[in-house]
Structure 1
Amino acid sequence: MRGSRVRTFWGAMLILLFTIMMVLTGCSTSQKNTEAEKTQTSAETKGQEIRTIKHEMGETEIQNTPKKIVTLELSFVDSLNALGINPIGIADDNKKDMITKLVDHEIDYSSVGTREQPNLEVISSLQPDLIIADAERHKGIYKDLQQIAPTIVLKSRESTYQENLDSFKTIAEAVNQQEVAEKRLSEHEKTIQELKSKLNVDSNITVLPAVVRDTSFQAHTTSSYDGELLEHMGLKIAIQKEEPYVEMNLEQLVEINPDVLLLANNEGKLLTDEWKDNPLWKDLKAVKNGKVYSVDRDLWTRFRGVVSAEAIAKDTLTMLNEK
């Protein structure tokens, strides 16, 4: 009788011990599963990081790192190029050769029409995950663009040199390339300062960049993109104004009488062609001293950006240092 009770006791103990072991094993497994779920959730959250980008039209939330980017101004192509990124869509004014000149390598992209009137249907068909638009040209279609993809609106067409650099930083933030941008900007400033140190000109000479069309002469001031860049190189811009551009006639140009003229000529007939036989034109210091230079219209007035600025600076050094 007693032996039977002992066996029953130990049997019960074994069952209890087995039950405890099963519970502990279950708890351990549950804990491991919970930790695994946490790790997976953390990884997914990191992979789906949402960032808020401030821009000229407010704030835009961008998830992950954009891969399919559409640019509606040429300076944004320059910025992405400086970051080692190729856009899938570009408002190229239906001039692919212009993009070939802007970027030093082949880009497989789709034209989305002109910068002034980009084609929304084509943009939508590309299914972009980021659109970069210009504050002046595209604010009227901002809501339409936002319906297609997250859109940031930045200064480009009317930007100063510094504003262009600020836009570059914002683009870098939007595409998760802040460290690359910081390094590139450091290299850029070093390049500009090196070119500046090689300039062999009198610090008192005045320089006037301008765009010449068939019926207009548009002088660029210290507040223009190229004017501010040239000032950054240590040159004295002939017109000090808050407005970036000033329309001038020949008499007004004679009053300014710059030492150097840097003319971004439009295609075809030019207003200066009519001026060349005029004694007032011939009496300009820049004309008499052979300091009238024709510069690339695309590079000097359309492209704008880190890479383009360095090319402009190199152009300037070559022209002004010539004997």
Structure 2
Amino acid sequence: MYRMKSIQVLVLAVLVLLLAACNNTTAEPSSDSGTRTITHLKGEAVIPSKIEKIVVLTAEYIDHLLTIGERPYGVNTEVRYGGDYLPYLAGMLEGVATVGSADNPNLEAIALLEPDVILIESRTAENTYEQLNQIAPTVVLGNEWLDYGDDTSFWTKDLLTIAEMYDKTDVAKQKIAELEQKTAQASEKIKALDNKQLAYLRVRAKALQVYAQKGHPTNVLLYQDLGFEPAALTPEEQRADLSLEKIPELGADFIVLEADPNAGDFLGNMKNSPLWSNIPAVKEGRVHETDSFWLFKGWGVIGRGEIIDEILAWIGE
């Protein structure tokens, strides 16, 4: 009996010590060692359920991360902007490591960051997926624009997948809903305009092109979501070359004019042409000059919101 009581006392003492130890450690955050499996274009990736360091090699996914309140650990640079952050996101990326371009990522720099996850699009995966996947689990996203028909929300697919990686699907859905409300309000103002034919033009080094009604989320935003009417000569699905002689046929009330960095001479000649100056949008001062920002912005909540703000300021709302 005495021996049995001794054992009971010993067990009780051990339990007291264990409880004391637990109480002493509850103030320290416990590490999350769990994982989750993400299905992507290259199969499945097993990633940490709590991502600390993610390297992102495409602009739209940086927008997606920032939309759900997450900050990337490393990002690709944009060659056309001097090898730096994409300008419209630069203020939110200060101090984030840069690891080369999406087309030519710096594998050594990425490895030195010791990321938990690497996030890329299908175009980048064609050449570097195997090398990147050896550094860290690599998730490959991306979709073909025209595969989605009349679904104007197709650009949200990758955002929701990224939100799933962080268990923030609800946050992403809320941000999408807020943007949809903002888009609807802007659409009402645009649809109320008496004249709302829009042409989205791109000036290249030796050519002028007109963007289509579909084929890119920015085009879909302008023509489907916001309700601008396509000006004459606007193709339905693929952008097309446009000769200077054809410019008067546009008849556009509004023109978005995107110019490549090396388009200065062609742009100057076009603007000096009477064919250009006789377009209604030019006569009324309704030409909004931009660069390829809009092509990047059209893929994300932050960027699309900025496009809408620019348009409302442009049309005087």
Work out whether the TM-score is over 0.5: yes
Taking the aligned partners of 2:33 and 2:88, their CA distance within structure 1 comes to: 36
Query: 1:55: how far off?
Result: 2.5
Distance 1:183 1:270, change over 3 A: farther
Gaps of 5+ in 2: 14-30
Distance 1:203 1:129, change over 3 A: farther
Q: Does 1:178 align with 2:178?
A: no
Residues 128-139 of structure 1: matches in 2 within 5 Å?
128-139=115-126
Whether the 8 Å CA contact 2:203–2:267 is kept in 1: the answer is: yes
Which residue number in structure 2 is paired with residue 194 of structure 1? 185
Distance 1:237 1:103, change over 3 A: farther
Which residue number in structure 1 is paired with residue 295 of structure 2? 301
Taking the aligned partners of 1:184 and 1:153, their CA distance within structure 2 comes to: 23
TM-score scaled by length of structure 2: 0.78
Whether the 8 Å CA contact 2:259–2:267 is kept in 1: the answer is: no
SS in 2 for 1:51: strand
Which residue number in structure 1 is paired with residue 207 of structure 2? 216
Whether the 8 Å CA contact 1:212–1:270 is kept in 2: the answer is: no
Q: Does 1:165 align with 2:156?
A: yes
Whether the 8 Å CA contact 2:38–2:44 is kept in 1: the answer is: yes
Which residue number in structure 2 is paired with residue 237 of structure 1? 230
Whether the 8 Å CA contact 1:201–1:320 is kept in 2: the answer is: no
- Per-residue CA shift, 1:246-269, capped at 9, x if unaligned? 232223444443322101222251
Larger radius of gyration: 1
- Per-residue CA shift, 1:162-220, capped at 9, x if unaligned? 33211111111122222221222222222222333343753663212232222232322
Distance 1:156 1:93, change over 3 A: farther
Whether the 8 Å CA contact 2:53–2:73 is kept in 1: the answer is: yes
Query: 1:314: how far off?
Result: 0.9
CA root-mean-square deviation: 3.6
Report percent identity of matched pairs: 26
SS in 1 for 2:37: strand
SS in 2 for 1:208: strand
Taking the aligned partners of 2:120 and 2:35, their CA distance within structure 1 comes to: 20
Taking the aligned partners of 1:263 and 1:109, their CA distance within structure 2 comes to: 32
- Which 4+ residue blocks in structure 1 deviate beyond 6 angstroms? 17-29, 156-161
Gaps of 5+ in 1: 1-16, 30-45
Distance 1:58 1:237, change over 3 A: farther
TM-score scaled by length of structure 1: 0.77
Whether the 8 Å CA contact 1:172–1:181 is kept in 2: the answer is: yes
- Per-residue CA shift, 1:229-281, capped at 9, x if unaligned? 112112223335233x3232223444443322101222251523222333432
Taking the aligned partners of 1:108 and 1:156, their CA distance within structure 2 comes to: 30
Distance 1:101 1:134, change over 3 A: same
